[in-house]
Amino acid sequence: MIGNTDIIRSLHQITSYPLDLGLEIYQEYPFLKMGVTSSVQHYAALLTPVAEEIIAANPQYTHWVLTSPPRHRRPGAANLLCRAVYERLKRKAGAADYLSIVELANTEEAVFTFGNDTDFSNYHDYSKFSFEKRSTLKRKHDFVIKEENFLNKGIVFINDINVTGAGHEYIRQIFASVYPDNVNWLYIIDCDASVGRARPELESEINNFKIKSVLDFAAILTENEIEHTAKCVSNLFTFDIEALQQLLKLLNPTQKSKLWDAVIEEDLYHGALFKDKIDLLRSHCVA
C-alpha cells in the first residue's frame, strides 16, 4: 500500500489470503501485541538493520527521529518496538549525536470512554473492521505533531502492521500537514491493499491465533517478562467474571500487582460497564 509520497519497508508482505500462519514471521506476533519482552526484542532485532539501511541511504539528513503511533497511556506494541529499535541503534558509535526518539500521544480531547459494549468493541475489535470503519474511528483519536521535533530531520515511523491502510493514511496526512519531506514507514507486516481491504479481519487472525482461551492468556502473563500493552489490558476485559477468577488464581502476587498497575495507568476501564470486573481485580490484586 504505497502512495505517491510513501516509502514503505516491511519484513513481510501479505499478497494473498488465506494466511499461512505457520510462517516464522507470525510466531511471536501475538505475544508482541501483549508486550512480551522477548517477542519485542525478536522483532526489534529484525527491524534494526532495515532502519540502518534507511539512514545510510539518506545522507542528506544529519539527524534522525524514530517515532511510532500515538498512544493513550499504556504503550502499544509498536511503541515498545520503536523504543527497542532506538536502543539498538544507539549502540552504534556516534549514534547518540544524530538519533532521537519522539513518542506521540493522543490529545486529551481524543481520550474516549466506554459507555457500552459497542464502544468497547470499537476499541478492542478494531483489527476486525473494514477500511471505512477504521477510517471513521481514527478520525476520533486526534493527536498533535510538534513541528520542531521533526522539521529538517529524517523520520523512521515504526509500526507493527498495515492492513487496510486506514491508520497509515490518517497518520500520513497529519505528518504531511507539518512535515514536507517523505516519511520512511517501517512495518513488520504490510498488506497489499486489494487483500487487506477485502479481508480486514486477517489482522485479528494474526493477533489472536495463539491466544484462544483464558489459559493461553494466563500463560503469557505468568511465563514471560512482560510490559503490559494497551492491547493486553483491553484483552483482560474481554473475559467474563468466571474466566477472570480462573486467571487470577494462576497469577502470583507480583504478577497481579503489575497487571493492576497497568489497568489503573491506562485509566479507561471505569463506570458501570466494567464495575464488577474492576471490583474483582481490585479484591485480588491490591494488597
- Taking all residues of the chain, what is their mean pLDDT, rounded to a whole number? 89
Report, as an integer, the average pLDDT of 165-172: 88
Domain boundaries, the chain: 7-208, 214-285
3-state SS string over the chain?
CCCCCCEEEEEEEECCCCCCCCCHHHCCHHHHHHCEHHHHHHHHHHHHHHHHHHHHCCCCCCCEEEEEEEECCCCCHHHHHHHHHHHHHHCCCCHHHCEEEEEEEECHHHCCCCCCHHHHHHHHCHHHCCHHHHHHHHCCCCECCCHHHCCCCEEEEEEEEECCCHHHHHHHHHHHCCCCCCCEEEEEEEECHHHHHHCCCHHHHHHHCCCCCHHHHHHHHHHCCECCCHHHHHHHCCCCHHHHHHHHHHCCHHHHHHHHHHHHHHCCCCCHHHHHHHHHHHHHHCC
pLDDT tens digit string along 176-228?
877 777 899 999 999 999 999 999 999 999 999 999 999 999 999 998 899 99
pTM: 0.90
| Per-residue model confidence (pLDDT) at position 81 | 98
What's the pLDDT band for 135 if we cut at 50, 70, 90?
low
| Per-residue model confidence (pLDDT) at position 136 | 56
Q: Is the torsion defined by CA of 119, 124, 125, 129 positive or negative? A: positive
What's the pLDDT band for 2 if we cut at 50, 70, 90?
very low
- Say which residue, 144 or 12, is predicted with more confidence: 12
For residues 166 and 121, give the distance between their C-alpha atoms in angstroms, rounded to a whole number: 18
**CATH dotted code for 7-208:** 3.40.50
pLDDT tens digit string along 230-244?
999 999 999 999 999
Report, as an integer, the average pLDDT of 157-168: 94
Order across the sheet with 64-71: list the strands: 7-14, 184-191, 154-162, 64-71, 99-105
Q: Is the pLDDT of residue 157 over 90?
A: yes
pLDDT tens digit string along 53-71?
999 999 999 999 999 999 8
Report, as an integer, the average pLDDT of 9-33: 98
Report, as an integer, the average pLDDT of 251-258: 97
Grid coordinates in use for 102? Answer: 519522539
| Per-residue model confidence (pLDDT) at position 1 | 39
| Per-residue model confidence (pLDDT) at position 223 | 87
For residues 32 and 78, give the distance between their C-alpha atoms in angstroms, rounded to a whole number: 9
| Per-residue model confidence (pLDDT) at position 159 | 97
| Per-residue model confidence (pLDDT) at position 123 | 65
- Say which residue, 63 or 270, is predicted with more confidence: 63
Q: Is the pLDDT of residue 130 over 90?
A: no
| Per-residue model confidence (pLDDT) at position 3 | 39
Instruction: Name the least confident of 59-68, 98-107, 126-135, 156-165.
Output: 126-135
Report, as an integer, the average pLDDT of 8-25: 98
Report, as an integer, the average pLDDT of 172-179: 82
pLDDT tens digit string along 88-125?
999 987 888 899 999 998 765 445 667 767 777 666 56
- Say which residue, 175 or 47, is predicted with more confidence: 47
